[in-house]
Structure 1
Amino acid sequence: MNPFALGGWKNPSNPDAAPPGTTPQPSIFGALPFVTGNASPKFIPFRFTSFSPTILNSTVTGPNSQTYFRVKTDVPTVGRTPPVIEIRDILSKRHTSKWLALSADRSYRTMTARERTFMWTPDGACLGLFSAGLRAPQIYAHVSREEGELVLELRQEAIQLGLLEVCVASALLLQCGREID
């Protein structure tokens, strides 16, 4: 392997060593930083579809239109009972107002999941899930509406952190049109 060819330098004795348009390769030993051409995070879409009659009874599909979840909501009992949420093996039963706590200025909601705190906040025409407490918040997900369906887009890192189920549940609660406080 010729390091000069990998760096993109011309080699007069072997002009074919680094053809034009060749992208540089990362360092073999990983000692040097390497920037790829695509720096924007990749989002993986999940769609709430088949509302029956609302999003509270729907299907969540992911890549390749594979069904990931079926949302089924129990009929509420007579009288006003505060809404609760539970996600088996992830989130113990609690009031939604505690899990998705509204800020004092009502501009965002905080959510604790997997021992981390996140913020759901308006982000243009959608809602964004950001890391909380950092100078430069990192986006993990966003929720938007498209042609009769709700779209939740998650970064790969969010899925690796185990946030898929909590993001599906929180997107559902934030977009269902019901009182959650």
Structure 2
Amino acid sequence: MSAFRTAPRASSRIQHPSDMFTNNPYAQGGWPNPQNPLSINNATWGKDSPPQPSVYGALPNAVPPSPPNILTFLFVSLNPTILNCTVVGPHAQKYFDVTTNSPNVGASTIFLKAGRPFAVVEWHNQPTVEIYGVAPRQAAARWLELSHDRAYQSMQVQGRWYAWVPRDKVISLFTVGPNPPELLARVTREPEMVKLEITAQAVQAGLLEPAVVATVLLQSGRNYG
């Protein structure tokens, strides 16, 4: 498998309101929100948010000197969206299931392959997310917090900050300062599936489950702001 390529430096120009992200902020990068294409994310940048300039203004420009060990997870059997699917990983083994209750679409639960739930997203007027033992129940728009310039979205896991950055049709996960950003994962949409590629280093750091939950939110097509 080919190594990740780091993203080129990009402008953090403030966009015209008509061009800004929707409540699913990565619609700007080619990920549409079919339910509400004109809505605007109203997430508040809180006092505990990471310093804004430390990520997007310093994206790495060079290809890493050695290719990382990359693990691929495929969200397949979309029924009809990522909110009902199976996640298979290396050796075509099932790792997770995503199940959304119907017809009200009140909550999405993500299960480990043994059938034990480890995360839930509640789709109310103000959607919430909880990852058991990792992230307490909180507003989804707070856990994936949009930057001031709407250029990236921050995620905190075990006291460390990370950033999801959309570029073309790829959403990449980077570390956040003080060191130079490091590419840890990326999400792409493939025909009839969604692909999450993540480094073994990120998995060892406990980022696999949060990355799976973030992928579900980012690819849900639903408003969570």
TM-score range, shorter chain: 0.7 to 0.9
State yes or no: 1:65 paired with 2:92.
Answer: yes
TM-score, length of structure 1 as denominator length: 0.74
Q: How does 1:17-166 map to 2 (within 5 A)?
A: 39-74=66-101, 75-76=105-106, 81-166=125-210
CA distance in 1 between partners of 2:163 and 2:190 (Å): 23
Indicate how the Cα distance of structure 1 residues 60 and 95 shifts in structure 2: closer, same or farther if over 3 A, else same.
same
**Partner of 1:72: helix, strand, or coil?**
strand
Q: Deviations over 1:18-39 (max 9, x none)?
A: xxxxxxxxxxxxxxxxxxxx71
2:42: which partner in 1? none
1:180: which partner in 2? 224
Deviating beyond 6 angstroms after TM superposition, the runs of 4 or more aligned structure 1 residues are: none
| Letter in structure 1 aligned against 2:87 | V
CA distance in 1 between partners of 2:93 and 2:142 (Å): 32
Give the drift of 1:81: 1.7
Unmatched tracts of structure 2, length 5 or more? 1-64, 108-122
Give the drift of 1:162: 0.5
CA distance in 2 between partners of 1:73 and 1:95 (Å): 18
Unmatched tracts of structure 1, length 5 or more? 1-37
Give the drift of 1:43: 1.4
Indicate how the Cα distance of structure 1 residues 71 and 80 shifts in structure 2: closer, same or farther if over 3 A, else same.
closer
CA distance in 2 between partners of 1:92 and 1:99 (Å): 10
Give the drift of 1:80: 5.4
Indicate how the Cα distance of structure 1 residues 80 and 66 shifts in structure 2: closer, same or farther if over 3 A, else same.
closer
CA distance in 1 between partners of 2:74 and 2:197 (Å): 8
| Letter in structure 1 aligned against 2:129 | I
CA distance in 2 between partners of 1:173 and 1:83 (Å): 10
Report the identity percentage. 38
1:33: which partner in 2? none
Query: RCO greater where, 1 or 2, for CA within 8 Å and sep 6 or more?
Result: 2
CA distance in 1 between partners of 2:76 and 2:152 (Å): 26
**Partner of 2:172: helix, strand, or coil?**
strand
Q: How does 1:5-16 map to 2 (within 5 A)?
A: none
TM-score, length of structure 2 as denominator length: 0.60
